[in-house]
Chains A and B, each alone.
Chain A
Amino acid sequence: MKTILKLTTFTVALFMFSCMENKGKEYATAEEIPVNREMQAELTSPPNVPRPVGKRKAKKLIVNMEILEQESEITNGVSYVYWTFGGTVPGSFIRTRVGDEVEFTLSNHPDNKLPHNIDLHAVNGPGGGAESSFVAPGYEKTFSFKTLNPGLYVYHCATAPVGMHIANGMYGLILVEPEGGLPPVDKEYYIMQGDFYTKGKNGERGLQPFDMQKAIDEDADYVVFNGSVDALTGDNALTAKVGETIRLYVGNGGPNLVSSFHVIGEIFDKVHVEGGDMINENVQTTLIPAGGAAIVEFKVDVPGSFILVDHSIFRAFNKGALGMLNVEGEERKKIYSGEIREGIYLPEGPTIQAMPTTDEIVESEIPAKNLEEQLKFGKQAYNQTCVACHQAEGQGIANAFPPLAKSDYLNADVNRSIDIVLHGLSGEITVNGDTYNSVMTKQMLSPDEIANVLTYVYNSWDNSGAVVTKEMVLKVKNQK
Chain B
Amino acid sequence: MKFQAISIVFVLLVFQTVLFAQSDGMVFIEGSRYLPLYGRDSTVVEVKDFLMDQYPVTNADYEKFVKDNPKWRKSKVIKLFADDSYLNNWKNDLELKHSERADSPVTFVSWFAAKAYCDCQDKRLPTVDEWEYVGMADETTKDARSKKAYNEQILAWYEAPRSNENSIGQTPKNAYGVYDLHGLVWEWTQDFNSVMITGESRKDKDLDNNLFCGSAAVNATDLMNYAAFMRYAVRGSLKAKYAMKNLGFRCVKDSAIDQ
Contact = CB atoms under 8 A, between A and B. Distances in A.
Interface stretch (B6-14, B53-61, B113-121, B224-232): B224-232
A85 B243 CA distance: 23
Interface stretch (B63-71, B94-102, B200-208): B200-208
A114 B215 CA distance: 16
B233 A114 contact: yes
Interface residues of B, number: 37
Interface string A126-151: 11001111111111000000000000
Contact of B201 (A70, A158, A210): A158
Q: Which of A112, A159, A163 neighbours the largest number of chain B CB atoms within 10 Å of its CB? A: A159
Given A111-B161, A130-B200, A133-B199, A212 B226 contact: yes
B92 interface: no
12 contacts: A111-B245, A113-B159, A114-B233, A130-B201, A134-B236, A136-B244, A137-B244, A138-B242, A138-B244, A209-B156, A212-B223, A216-B218
B42 to A, nearest CB: 21
A161 B214 contact: yes
B198 interface: yes
A110 interface: yes
Nearest to B211: A160
B155 A210 contact: yes
Contacts of B198: 131, 134
Contacts of B85: 110, 138
Interface residues of A, number: 36
A130 B162 contact: no
Interface string A164-192: 10000000000000000000000000000
A139 B155 contact: no
B201 A159 contact: yes
Interface in B159-174: 159, 161-162
B246 A137 contact: yes
A115 B223 CA distance: 20
A161 B158 contact: no
A71 B160 CA distance: 9
Contact of A209 (B159, B219, B223, B232): B159
A137 B235 CA distance: 11
Nearest to A80: B159
A105 B71 CA distance: 33
B232 A160 contact: yes
Nearest to B224: A212
B230 A114 contact: yes
B161 A69 contact: yes
B238 interface: yes
Nearest to A160: B201
A162 B158 contact: no
Contacts of A111: 161-162, 245
A70 B229 CA distance: 21
Given A160-B212, A216-B223, A136 B242 contact: yes
Interface string A393-414: 0000000000000000000000
A82 to B, nearest CB: 10
B141 interface: no
A351 interface: no
Shortest beta-carbon contacts, A-B, top 3: A134-B199, A115-B237, A160-B201
Contact of B200 (A71, A131, A135): A131
Nearest to B199: A134
B18 interface: no
A110 B245 contact: yes
A212 B202 CA distance: 18
A216 B220 contact: yes
Nearest to A133: B199
B30 interface: no
A161 B215 contact: yes
A81 interface: yes
A139 B214 CA distance: 27
A433 to B, nearest CB: 53
A213 B152 CA distance: 11
B175 to A, nearest CB: 24
